[in-house]
Each structure stands twice: as C-alpha cells, then as structure tokens.
Amino acid sequence: MKPGLVSCNIFMLGCIGTFWQSATLLGFGMWGWIILGAGVLVGISPHLPSMRANARAVALILVMLSCIALPLALLAAGTGGAFKLSTDEILLLLGFAMIAVSGIAVARATRRKRVEA
C-alpha cells in the first residue's frame, strides 16, 4: 500500500464534504472551490510521487486555515450574547475539524524519511 493513501483519501473526502456543505449553506464561492481543489490535489498525491511535497504543503495550509476558521466561527456565533448555530453550520464546522485532524495525519504520513549517514 502506498504511504499516506488512507490519510490522503480521508482528507480528500473531508474537503469534498466541507465544499458541499459550504456550497449549500453559503453558495459556490471562491473558498469552497479552493478547498475542493486542495482536497483533490492531496487525494491524488499518493499516486504521483512528484506531487507529495506540494500536497503536504497544501494540507498544512488548509490545517492552518481550518484552525483559524473554527474559533472565528464560534466567536461569530456567540456575538450578541446568544450562542446560536444551526445544524448546517455545525456540520460545516465539523468538516473544518475533520480537515484539520486529517491534514495533520497527511503531513505526518507524507514527510520524508531522514537518512542519517
């Protein structure tokens, strides 16, 4: 089995799900397409060895963006003194959490092994 295949596929499925949830909630915007493109890039990277470094970098960037999006969304939900999130918004936040966790797994699985001389 190719290294990182399972984690890359989970990451890709998380990105596709987050894209779809974002599209139904907010419409087909630029960030949704970026998330989808990044997920597909990471998903095909185990089959293309030359893309592994790029896919790792893209996964780490999406991890950072997801880690920023989660607290900002929770802060926005609590604005005005009443914490309100609809079911669709909760699913979107769960998608971002899935991207963050699986993106870390992708980064760990696709890192280069150091050869000590």
Query: Where along the chain do its domains lie?
Result: 5-109
The full DSSP string for 75-87 is HHHTTTS-----H
What's the pLDDT at 3? 72
Report d(CA 53, CA 47) in Å as an integer.
13
Q: Is the pTM of this model over 0.75?
A: yes
pLDDT tens for residues 7-33? Answer: 999 999 999 999 999 999 989 999 999
Instruction: Say what the pLDDT of residue 20 is.
Output: 96
pLDDT above 70 for 57: yes
Does the pLDDT of residue 90 top 70, yes or no?
yes
CA-nearest of 99, 105, 111 to 36 is 99
